[in-house]
Structure 1
Amino acid sequence: MLTQDDVLVHGAGDLCEGPCWDVGTKTLVWVDILAGAVNVVDPVSGTSARHLLGTPVGAVAPRAHGGWVAAVERGFLLLDGAWRPEGDVVPAPGQGPGTRFNDGACDPFGHFWAGTLSYDETTGRAALYRFDADGSVREVLAGVTNSNGIAWSPDGTEMYYVDTGRGSLDRLELDPADGSIVGRTTLVELMPRDGLPDGLTVDAEGYLWLALWGGGCVRRYTPRGELDREVRLPVDLVTSVTFGGDGLAELYVTTARDGLSPAQLTEQPLAGSVFRCRPGVQGLAPSTFAG
């Protein structure tokens, strides 16, 4: 059970998500989605910064030649190392009204994957997209309800995906020729009492770490979908996880307070904080966007 002693940043935001380790600066980066903010903290010194993008931001990832790529409300945005936009937002084809981008991540081949959700939670109204280095965007999966965690196996051959609306963690099979999705298998099916599957990451041993929104925990699963362990938190809304720190041996966990009642906030004073722990395994360095 994580406690106050495991808090890295207290009150980090209302809807903290998408934690990402910056290998070059040895800092942790995460977004506060609806505030349109990107937050950066040095876990050693505690030095922090907050960058406002002027639009809701669901996820960011490093670029291979410096700077960042972001999934913002209505598409994709390239930013330099100081978080300044480089050009306009690249729209996603067919993105419906009343939707916004949510979680995303880069695959080992330099593509940035991110998906959408509907503000009114309409079932099947969203989609998963892929943003390529040449600036093109393609829809790769339709009928999504709440696109969330995305990760890959250490060798890059397996893609893992969460559509929170399905209540499951799935493995997607990709066509190696064009990257299209040609198969889908459910690895983990969550019960309502477990909470809703949210963000995820994969460690160096190929095990999956899954945050459970409303479940107050992070679970580690084998590549076959078997439960290995559970890390409890003192808050309900656990949003995502990533590895970082020296040797990528620290696990960082983002949480939220958005939507909690005053009574719940009183009961959960650490809601919206970023936590860290050392689970005894190492993570993988984040893949970079080739564009």
Structure 2
Amino acid sequence: MDMLRAHVCAPPAGRLCEGPVWDSRTAELLWVDIRAGQIHRAALAGDPPDLVKQATITLDPPLSAVLPTASGGVLAALGDNIFRVADDGTRTLLATLPLPRAGARLNDAKVDPRGRLLAGTVAEDRVAGSAALYRLDPDGALTALLTGVTISNGLGWSPDGRTLYYADSATFQVDAIDYDLETGTLGARRKFAAFDDGEPDGLTVDADGCVWIAVWGAGEVRAFHPDGRPRAAVAVGPAQVSSCTFAGPGLDILVITTAAEGDAAREPDAGRLFACTPGATGLPATPFADIGPAPADGR
């Protein structure tokens, strides 16, 4: 198993940085600070690669995810609402999720290979079974895919789009779920990877089908082959490693977000972004298909 180390990047620390995604249209990295309600953009430059901050949009916290759209704006998950946000900050409401508890909010979200949005929820008090995973179709239809979840988190698809990797962080494992690309429905579910020293948080999948998982509390990103064998571990530093994605024109730079929540705020570089070149190539992010036909080839 490869043992790697990430280096800290230039942007200043946030409190709960999450959801990094590479926007190939603008050649920029997008990410959010959930507690500050901010969407950040940065370009990659230098060797070793660093992030050069380009812009910040401040909306209403909690702001849990940002994702590109086919229409040119971004999707933003704010509280229990999903908005399309134009470059000038103008919002269009696309959906309101039926959250059953006070203090519940949207959490991690990703777009599937056909342009549908999958978005999970979490209750701030982490009551067992109080969260869910939803699918938002481009026509506005909202469907509950999983209920009885506690902390709906990491999402990512295999290169052929037929397997969804999913973390309910409270279970301390990532599951592999059969995924029907034609309908966006879930099939058989099985344990993929388990953790005894932290909670799986955000994740990403590379072009070889390896799954890179941020392990909250362990200070690492860990990668696994499609059969579940360990592939690599990336030492980050701060314990609260929240998510990761492949970025850059070649999608060969792993960018990692961290948090500075509670006592962890005293750790050096907590809440900063980190990067490394792990010898793998990521998959391009599919934009939410709010205009035009959805992709037909699975990616």
Q: Would you say the 8 A contact 2:23–2:30 is kept in 1? A: yes
Distance 1:269 1:94, change over 3 A: closer
Given candidates 179, 183, 199, the residue that maps to 2:184 is 179
Q: Would you say the 8 A contact 2:180–2:186 is kept in 1? A: yes
Q: Would you say the 8 A contact 1:10–1:270 is kept in 2? A: no
Higher helix share: 1
2:273 corresponds to 1:274 = yes
Q: Would you say the 8 A contact 1:32–1:38 is kept in 2? A: yes
The residue identity in structure 2 corresponding to 1:275 is: F
2:62 corresponds to 1:62 = no
Given candidates 158, 162, 167, the residue that maps to 1:162 is 167
Q: Could you say which residue in structure 1 is the equivalent of 2:141?
A: 136
SS at match of 2:115: coil
Q: Could you say which residue in structure 2 is the equivalent of 1:205?
A: 208
TM-score, scaled relative to structure 1: 0.92
Q: Could you say which residue in structure 2 is the equivalent of 1:36?
A: 37
2:134 corresponds to 1:150 = no
Higher strand share: 2
- Mapped to 1, the partners of 2:143 and 2:61 lie a distance apart of 22
CA root-mean-square deviation: 1.7
SS at match of 1:35: coil
- Mapped to 2, the partners of 1:250 and 1:178 lie a distance apart of 32
SS at match of 2:93: coil
Following superposition, the deviation at residue 259 of structure 1 comes to: 1.3
Q: Would you say the 8 A contact 2:80–2:99 is kept in 1? A: no
Q: Would you say the 8 A contact 2:161–2:181 is kept in 1? A: no
Q: Would you say the 8 A contact 1:19–1:29 is kept in 2? A: yes
Number of residues paired by the alignment? Answer: 282
Given candidates 213, 218, 232, the residue that maps to 1:229 is 232
2:105 corresponds to 1:106 = no
- Mapped to 2, the partners of 1:236 and 1:12 lie a distance apart of 14
SS at match of 1:25: coil
Q: Would you say the 8 A contact 1:210–1:220 is kept in 2? A: yes
SS at match of 2:170: helix
What do the CA deviations read for 1:139-184 (whole angstroms, capped 9, x no partner)? Answer: 1100010011100011111111011011111011234553232321
What do the CA deviations read for 1:89-148 (whole angstroms, capped 9, x no partner)? Answer: 621135443210111100000101010001111011000011110112111100010011
Identity across matched positions, percent: 40
What do the CA deviations read for 1:60-114 (whole angstroms, capped 9, x no partner)? Answer: 11111211112221121111234431x2362113544321011110000010101
Q: Could you say which residue in structure 2 is the equivalent of 1:243?
A: 246
- Mapped to 1, the partners of 2:74 and 2:169 lie a distance apart of 26
Given candidates 79, 82, 85, the residue that maps to 1:79 is 85
Following superposition, the deviation at residue 235 of structure 1 comes to: 1.1
SS at match of 2:250: helix
SS at match of 1:31: strand
Q: Would you say the 8 A contact 2:60–2:78 is kept in 1? A: no
